[in-house]
Structure 1
Amino acid sequence: MSNTIHEEITFQSTPDRIYQVLTNSKQFSEMSGGAPTDIQNEAGGEFSCFGGMITGRMIELVPNERIVQAWRAGNWDPGVYSIAKFELQQKGSETILIFDHTGFPEGQGEHLKDGWTENYWSPLKAYLG
C-alpha cells in the first residue's frame, strides 16, 4: 500500500456538526468513548487525542469546510508527521467527508486505514446517530 489513504465517507449530519466534533475537545472525547482529548481550535494550535496516542497541530481550519492537521502517532520516530485533511461537502441532508492522509511512514497504511475506520468513522457515525 502506498503512503496515501483516500476515503469518502457519508454521514447523516451537517458539515457544521461534524466540524464541531472534530475540533472540540469535549465532543471529540465523548465521541471517542471518553478518551482524554485536548484540541486547540485554531490554526497552529496543538491537539492530543486518545490519551496522547495521536498528537499534532492544526495547520488550516476553514469552519464547516476543511480541517488540515500535521498528524502523528505516538509510536512514530520523533519529528515524524503526516498530513491529515478532512473536507466536508454537504449533499442534501448528508455530508460527504473526503479524507486524505499522506506522508506517513512506510508500512503503516493498512494499520492506519483500519484505525481511521475503528477510531474515527464508526464512532463518529454512532455519535451523530
Structure 2
Amino acid sequence: MTIHQEITIPASPAAVFEVLTSSDKFAAMTGGRGADISSEEGGAFSMFGGDIKGRNVELVPGERVVQAWRSQAWPEGVYSMVSFALSKNGDGTRVVFDQSGYPEEAHDMLEGGWQMMYWGPMSEMLSGK
C-alpha cells in the first residue's frame, strides 16, 4: 500500500523545507510537541514527543526530503519511506508526498493524519493565520 498526496503550501520551498528539517520550527508547527531533527543526511530524528522516529535518507534544501519513518506503535524494525518533493507553484510550494512500506492496518490513520498533523498546521503556520 502507498499514500500519494499533492498539496500546495502558501510559502516558499525553502520555508517548507525548513519546517520539515528544523527541530524548533517543526515543534512550533505541532503546538510545541517535542522534536529533535538532525539537519544531516543519515541523521536521526524524533518528532511528536518521540511518537515518530527515523533517519534522514536524502536532504536537498528547498527540493526534497526523504526519510525512513516509523511510528512507535508499529512492530520493532518496521520503517516506511516518506518522500516530500518540493517545487515552486506561484506564490506557494507544491508538495508531492509519497509514503510506502507501512503496516496495512495503519493506512487509514496515516492517510488522514498527514492532512491533520502536517499540511493543515504547516499551511496555517506559514501563511501567518
Residues 44-89 of structure 1: per-residue CA shift (max 9 Å, x gap): 0000000000000000001100000000001001100000000001
- Number of equivalences: 127
Task: State the match for 1:117 in structure 2.
Answer: 115
Instruction: Provide the rounded CA distance (Å) in 2 between the counterparts of 1:102 and 1:74.
Output: 17
> How large is the RMSD of aligned CA atoms in angstroms?
0.6
2-structure distance, mates of 1:68, 1:4: 15
List structure 1 segments (4+ residues) > 2 angstroms apart after TM superposition: none
After TM superposition, the structure 1 = structure 2 runs for residues 32-47 of structure 1, keeping only pairs within 5 Å, are: 32-47=30-45
Matched-pair identity in %: 47
Contact 2:8–2:89 (8 Å) recurs in 1: no
Which residue of the partner structure matches residue 4 of structure 2? 6
Unaligned ranges ≥5, structure 1: none
Q: Secondary structure at the match of 2:102?
A: coil
CA–CA distance in 1 between the matches of 2:12 and 2:29?
Answer: 16
TM-score normalised by structure 1 residue count = 0.96
- Extract unaligned runs of 5+ from structure 2: none
